[in-house]
């Protein structure tokens, strides 16, 4: 028989995680569907369940020098209402469900669920966000790429939970989000894209591109980004095709119920090309 535990404090939650094996339910908007049962029957949870949604001590957005710190149980709707969160985050998050879903769904839940199609986590890669994991034994801070290791795979240990997400501030000239899906009511991404750039006197100081739903995890090719840092937009234009080819080699999409490998490969390339050409034109 599955046990159901509602901890009254974060500390108590960590003690339960130390002593047992739990599904952690925050907003529950993914996990309740994953274990959905026939109508009017309880979900088919496979392990004991720890319900953490009401741990208010993990609901916060701290604006600090150089970073935002987002408590793990802060709902998406609260994040969307915050005046200082950059638009690129908000434009990705506003596409997640409707307000009713976003009043309970959390960014930390999207990280722990580790779907390669999750829209919410894409800007975290763009901003080099870090995730603080904690257990009774202590806490550790990992970059987002090290937390999500594959589809539905994470580095989060069985005794750990996400405490907070640290997002460094950046002054990009442009930071954009593009989602390619089907009709809005059924819009899990086929391909998603984030791009950000910082240019000074025609020279690229920073360029970051992330792609979602085209590989086992979100893609961010830091080595390719490094090859264009410090060059001019004119020089970028000259090597655009080579760069697009290099990205194409990193994109390893699959055929699934939402789209095909061929379509995703082409669309991902087009999204990168479109973003870079826009910057070159502006330059």
Partner 1 sequence: MKPIKFILNDQPVEAHTNPSRRLLDVLRGDYGLTGSKEGCGEGECGACSVLLDGYAVNSCILPLASVEGRHVTTIEGYAKTQRFAVVKAAMGDEGGSQCGICTPGFMIAIESLLKKNPKPSEQEIRTGLAGNLCRCTGYNMIVKAVQKAAKVGEGLW
- List residues binding partner 1 (CB under 8 A): 2, 4, 6, 25, 28-29, 32-33, 36, 39-40, 42-43, 45, 49, 51, 53-54, 77, 81, 94, 97-101, 103-104, 184-185
Min CB(67)–partner 1 separation in Å:
27
Taking the least distance from each CB to partner 1, the nearer of 185 and 249 is 185
Taking the least distance from each CB to partner 1, the nearer of 57 and 245 is 57
Min CB(55)–partner 1 separation in Å:
11
Tokens 């939650």, residue located: 13
Angle between helices 240-250 and 261-282 (to 10 degrees): 150
User: Rounded to an integer, what distance in angstroms lies between the CA atom of residue 45 and that of residue 210?
Assistant: 34
Taking the least distance from each CB to partner 1, the nearer of 120 and 195 is 120
Backbone angles phi, psi at 59, to 5 degrees: -110, 95
Taking the least distance from each CB to partner 1, the nearer of 9 and 139 is 9
Sequence-distant contacts of 273-277: CB under 8 A, at least 24 apart: 273/240, 273/244, 275/176, 275/178, 275/193, 275/195, 275/209, 276/195, 276/236, 276/240, 276/243, 277/240
Min CB(115)–partner 1 separation in Å:
15
Min CB(262)–partner 1 separation in Å:
28
Instruction: Using alpha carbons, select from 175, 218, 228 the residue that is nearest to residue 197.
Output: 175
Cβ atoms of residues 170 and 67 within 8 Å = no
Min CB(99)–partner 1 separation in Å:
6
Taking the least distance from each CB to partner 1, the nearer of 25 and 268 is 25
């Amino acid at each position: 028989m599955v046990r159901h535990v509602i901890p009254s404090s974060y500390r108590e939650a960590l003690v339960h995680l130390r002593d047992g094996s739990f599904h952690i339910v925050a907003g529950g908007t993914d996990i309740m569907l994953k274990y959905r049962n026939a109508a009017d029957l309880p979900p088919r949870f496979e392990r004991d369940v720890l319900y953490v949604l009401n741990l208010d001590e993990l609901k916060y957005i701290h604006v600090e020098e150089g970073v935002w710190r987002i408590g793990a149980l802060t709902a998406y709707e609260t994040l969307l209402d915050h005046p200082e969160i950059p638009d690129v985050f908000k434009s990705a998050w506003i596409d997640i469900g409707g307000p009713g879903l976003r009043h309970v769904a959390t960014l930390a839940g999207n990280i722990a669920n580790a779907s390669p199609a999750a829209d919410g986590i894409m800007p975290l890669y763009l901003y080099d966000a870090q995730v603080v994991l904690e257990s009774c034994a202590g806490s550790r801070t990992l970059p987002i790429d090290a937390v999500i290791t594959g589809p539905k795979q994470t580095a989060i240990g069985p005794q750990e939970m996400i405490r907070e997400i640290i997002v460094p501030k950046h002054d990009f000239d442009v930071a954009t989000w593009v989602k390619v899906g089907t009709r809005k009511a059924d819009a899990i991404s086929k391909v998603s894209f984030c791009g950000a750039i910082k240019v000074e006197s025609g020279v690229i100081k920073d360029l970051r591109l992330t792609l979602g739903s085209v590989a086992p995890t979100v893609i961010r090719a830091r080595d390719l980004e490094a090859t264009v840092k410090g060059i001019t937009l004119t020089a970028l234009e000259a090597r655009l095709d080579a760069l697009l080819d290099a990205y194409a080699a990193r994109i390893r999409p699959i055929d699934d119920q939402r789209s095909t490998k061929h379509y995703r490969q082409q669309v991902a390339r087009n999204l990168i090309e479109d973003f870079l050409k826009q910057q070159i034109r502006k330059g």
